[in-house]
Amino acid sequence: MANDTNVTWHEHQVSRTLRETQKGHRGCVIWFTGLSGSGKSTLANTLDHKLHQMGIHSAVLDGDNVRHALNAGAGMLRGTHGDDFAERFGLGFTAMDREENIRRIGAVAHLFSQAGIIALTAFISPYSRDRDRVRRTMDAGEFIEIFVDTSLEVCERRDPKGLYKKARAGELKNFTGIDDPYEAPTAPELTLNAGDETPEILVEKIIAYLGTQGIINLNP
């Protein structure tokens, strides 16, 4: 766009280091990825609750909630902004829309991290290139990819929203795991099997990892 040259990056007077020192822990982005129904949101919220109990500042960015506001679909935007706005900025579930969805939430999560907050994101984020693109925007060790490795069979059996049933019936298109691919991470920081262990046990593993990386202090 013509006015892009007028956009200038402004440095903040309060640095990231000062914010992290005040909080007593480092900021980072914990990126949960996995199939629908794998347990991403449950883990993110369980971890958020545990971190809060420990006096650690965290925030959950959940896929469904974000699509109600920041990345709302055209149908949600049409009533308040008009058809042109909705078609231009509303996001669906095509590969291109998913890419933009992840780009936007990656940018928001990075802002949280820079403010010394542990951002917990729970998105299917099915494409490796999109997750890797978010990782490249951050410093080494700041992006923690957690693969919630729950099998399609288990996810489909759970089907908490009835989405797999609709996808199998042809009522829901571009559904990951059915008619759209899911590209599993090849080198995530952690791989968790939410089909075999409870959220509480898995969260303890995440807490331990954060301690070993020096993000939080387990021995204050």
What residues are labeled active site? 125
Spell out the residues 6+ positions from residue 213 whose beta carbon is closer than 8 angstroms to its own.
Answer: 141, 144
Q: With b meaning 16 or more CB within 10 Å and e meaning fewer, what string describes 121-135?
A: bbbbbbbeebbeebb
Contact 190, 147 (CB under 8 A): yes
- The candidate with the shortest Cα–Cα distance to 183, out of 71, 113, 102, is 102
Please give the DSSP secondary-structure letter assigned to residue 2.
Answer: G
Query: How many angstroms separate the CA atoms of 133 and 101, rounded?
Result: 12
Helix (H, G, I), strand (E, B) or coil at 147: strand
Q: What is the DSSP secondary-structure string of 88-100?
A: HH---SSHHHHHH
Q: Which residue, 32, 28, 29, 30, is CA-closest to 123?
A: 32
